[in-house]
Structure 1
Amino acid sequence: MLNSIVVPMVLGFMIFMLGLKAMELTLHRSVGHHLQTVLEQMTATPLHGLLIGTATTAVLQSSTAVTVMTIGLVNAGLLTFPRTLGIILGTNIGTCLTTELIGLNISKLGWPLLLISLGCWFVTVLAGELGLGTLRRTKLSFSQAGLRPSGSRFWPPVRSTSVVVGGFALLLIGMALMQSVAPAVEASSFFSAFLGRAEGSVIWGIAAGAVLTAAVHSGAAVIAIIMGLAAVSAMPVPIGIAIVLGANIGTCVTALLVSYSGSKAGRFVAWSHVVLNVGGAVLFAPFTRELQAVVAMMTTSPAAQIAHAQTIFNIACSLLALPLCYLPKLRRMKVQ
């Protein structure tokens, strides 16, 4: 069991998380400061907030990062609590991009994409060191100041893009490695016992998703594992959907921990995230099989069905909750 399940699973998970964090940190470093300004200036209405929250989460590849950024802005007094409600709704929609990309079943492209990204990164580093591509006027200004040119403005974006592509390639490689343990997992008695209980009660699936996501602080990683198991028919899609519902609840833990030492308004933001995800899970829990029937009409791939189910769930929950954000009592709410 150690060699057939634990080692490949842990190694695949580490590679997956490395890729996810590489994408998140690179994108945050490249455009994060611009997104903070956008969050401050373009959240006048809940609908605007939802659109901005969706876009920023899709760009940063992390709903947790956007939620934590939002809590920080509220704690700093740059955003009021009512202006954050739409952002929170949007983060749940934007986070679906990662799983939808994984659901395309392109894991075979992992190694080629990684090699291409490493090649591009090496070229940009070499070009930067040699000063290639630097505008002549820039060279002159540096030489007049007695400084060495660092390269043109062209190379940093290319370098960042190569890191993002490499991070996505690591996602695919880690996903394939975690998927390779599916036959051994399916044969284990513990997994069989879990499936038996989960088929009898959806609560088991939701609880498993919430606990696993809270433990690893990444809903995308947990959902990717479930998609891998579903792809080889080791995990029934309805149970996978239940785990997805729980994973959305588990993503709230990081925001709650961050908000604990902040202002009361920051804690309100975190708890509004909890209310949205728990309320959505409770609402959809009795209809996991119906949701599976809907996504089955969209695709025959079990992994893609789970990705589509997450997208439908998050969009439906956010749109159902959006009118509540326009209630006058919430719009006038002032929390310090």
Structure 2
Amino acid sequence: MIASILLPSMLGFIIFLCGMKLMELALFRMGGPAFLRLLERSTQTPLHGLILGTASTAFLQSSTAVTALSISLVNSRLLPFSRTLGIILGTNIGTCLTTELIGLNIFHWAKPIIGFSFVLWTVSTLLIEYRLVPKLAAWPGSEYLRSASVVLFGFGMLLFGITVMQSIGPSLQQTDMYSWFLQQAQTTLLWGVLTGAVLTACFHSSSAVIAMIMGIAALDTLPLELCIAIVLGSNIGTCFTAILASIGGTKGGQFVAISHLLLNIGGAALFYPFINLLASAVLLTTDSIPTAIAHSQTIFNVLCSFIALPICYLKWFSRLDQV
């Protein structure tokens, strides 16, 4: 069991997380300073915040990073709490980009992408550090080229990590724990919600947990309804990092974390009775289970965010800025 399940799953998960972190750091290096300035200026209304939160999370590939930045800005009193509500809703939408890309089933491109990114990084480094071509070395975009190569390398690692995690499928099906989990899930899908929440809280990445589930489900080892329940749970679990980030901060920062948790719990509770309906709806769009999981997350997050958006306009939230 250790050799066939635990080692491949942990190795694949580590590769996946390293890829995501490389993408996050490289993308933030490319657009982070501009994003901070934009965040301070472009959140006048919850709708503006939602658009900004969606775009920034899709670009930075990390809802956790955007939420943590928002908490930091509120703690430093550069941004009032009420103007973060739209951003929080937007992060839930923006994080769907990663899973939608994974749902395209382009895992066979992992090694070519890694190879191309290494060549691109080598060329850009030679241009910048050794100035082999002076005119190109002086080009301001050369540094962006090197960051872009790191982004591609991280994306290749992300795909390769999922491929490694997929290898545990046949061995996983033969375990007693897997059979027990499926039996419990047949009685109530709350097991799936709980599993998604706990795994995401432990690994601090809903995208990583959902990607792992997509990889296993691709081998027809998990029913779609259970996978969607895990997706709902992962949305709750992703709030754990924000809660940790708010500890010791101002009340405004704590309000950000609490509102994030309440919004995600409310969305999961709203959609839980309709999991079977959602599963039937996404299967009309694709025959691929991983793609269906990605679509279900996108539908869930988009609908929840737009349902909650009018609530963010209540003047009651503005009064909390004075607390």
Shorter-chain TM-score range: over 0.9
2-side partners of 1:57 and 1:133: how far apart? 35
> 1:131, 1:152 within 8 Å by CA — same for their partners in 2?
no
Deviation at 1:330, TM superposition (A): 2.2
Which position in structure 2 is the counterpart of 1:3?
Answer: 3
Could you say if the C-alpha distance between residues 335 and 191 of structure 1 is closer, same or farther in structure 2, counting changes exceeding 3 Å?
farther
Q: Which amino acid aligns with 2:196?
A: G
Q: Does 1:197 align with 2:195?
A: no
| Cα shift at 1:200 | 1.3
User: What TM-score do the two structures reach when normalised by structure 2?
Assistant: 0.98
Alignment partner, residue 252 of structure 2: 265
CA distance in 2, matches of 1:32, 1:274: 25
Distance 1:96 1:335 in 2: 34
Q: Which moved more, 1:125-134 or 1:155-164?
A: 125-134
1:89, distance to aligned residue in structure 2 (A): 0.5
Residue 90 of structure 2 corresponds to which residue in structure 1? Answer: 90
User: What amino acid maps onto 2:267 in structure 1?
Assistant: G
The number of aligned residues is 323
Preserved contact between residue 132 and residue 151 of structure 1 (Cα < 8 Å): no
For 1:50, the equivalent position in structure 2 comes to 50
Matched residues in 2 for 1:195 and 1:37: separation? 48
Q: Structure 1 residues 151 and 130, CA, compared in 2 at 3 Å: closer, same or farther?
A: farther
Cα distance in 1 for partners of 2:248, 2:14 equals 30
1:49-75: CA deviation from partner (whole Å, max 9, x where unpaired): 000000000011000000000000001
Hey, what's the Cα distance between the residues in 2 that align with 1:331 and 1:3? 55
Paired with 1:151 and 1:102, the residues of 2 have a C-alpha distance of 36
Query: Is contact 2:217-2:289 (8 Å) kept?
Result: yes
Shift, 1:154, TM fit:
2.9
Greater Rg by CA? 1
C-alpha separation between the residues in 2 aligned to 1:28 and 1:195? 40
| Counterpart in the other structure of 1:116 | 116
In 2, the alpha carbon distance for the partners of 1:112 and 1:319 equals 39
CA contact (8 A) 1:264 1:335 kept: no
2:33 equivalent to 1:63: no
Aligned residue number for residue 101 of structure 2: 101
Contact 1:44 1:83 (C-alpha < 8 Å) held by counterparts: yes
Listed one character per residue, the Cα deviations across residues 88-114 of structure 1 (whole Å, up to 9, x for unaligned) are: 100000000000000000000000000
Asked whether the equivalents of residues 194 and 233 of structure 2 are also in contact (C-alpha less than 8 Å), the reply is: yes
Partner of 2:73 in structure 1?
73
Aligned alpha-carbon RMSD (Å): 1.2
**Aligned amino acid, residue 314 of structure 1:** N
Given the alignment, which residue of 278, 287, 301 partners 2:265?
Answer: 278
Give the aligned residue type for 2:67: T
**Who is 1:146 aligned against?**
none
Q: 1:73 to 1:189 in 2, by over 3 A?
A: same
Whether 2:152 is the aligned partner of 1:165: answer yes
Gap runs ≥5 in structure 2: none
**Correspondence list, 1:1-336, <5 A:** 1-135=1-135, 151-336=138-323
Distance in 1 (alpha carbons) for counterparts of 2:133 and 2:230: 50
1:287 Cα deviation after fit: 1.1
Provide structure 1 residue ranges, at least 5 long, that are not aligned to the other structure. Answer: 137-149
How far residue 133 of structure 1 moved from its aligned partner, in angstroms, is 4.0
Percent identity between the two aligned chains: 52
Spell out, residue by residue over 1:132-159, the C-alpha distance to the aligned partner (whole angstroms, 9 max, x if none). 34349xxxxxxxxxxxxx7532321111
On the 8 A contact 2:18/2:154 being kept in 1, the answer is yes
Partner amino acid for 1:296? Answer: L
| CA apart distance, 1:48 | 0.3
CA contact (8 A) 1:47 1:86 kept: yes
Please state how far the C-alpha of 1:332 moved relative to its aligned partner: 4.1
Task: Write the distance in 2 (CA, Å) between the matches of 1:321 and 1:151.
Answer: 48
Q: Which amino acid aligns with 1:8?
A: P
CA contact (8 A) 2:29 2:147 kept: no
Q: Match for 2:282: what amino acid?
A: V
**Equivalent residues of 1:325, 1:331 under 8 A apart:** no
Deviations, residues 223-269 of structure 1 (Å, cap 9, x unaligned) = 00100111110111100000000000000001001101100000000
CA distance in 1, matches of 2:276, 2:146: 44
CA distance in 2 between partners of 1:232 and 1:218 (Å): 23
Check whether the contact 1:100–1:307 (CA below 8 A) recurs between aligned residues: yes
Matched position secondary structure for 1:222: helix
Matched-pair contact (CA < 8 Å) for 2:197–2:234: yes
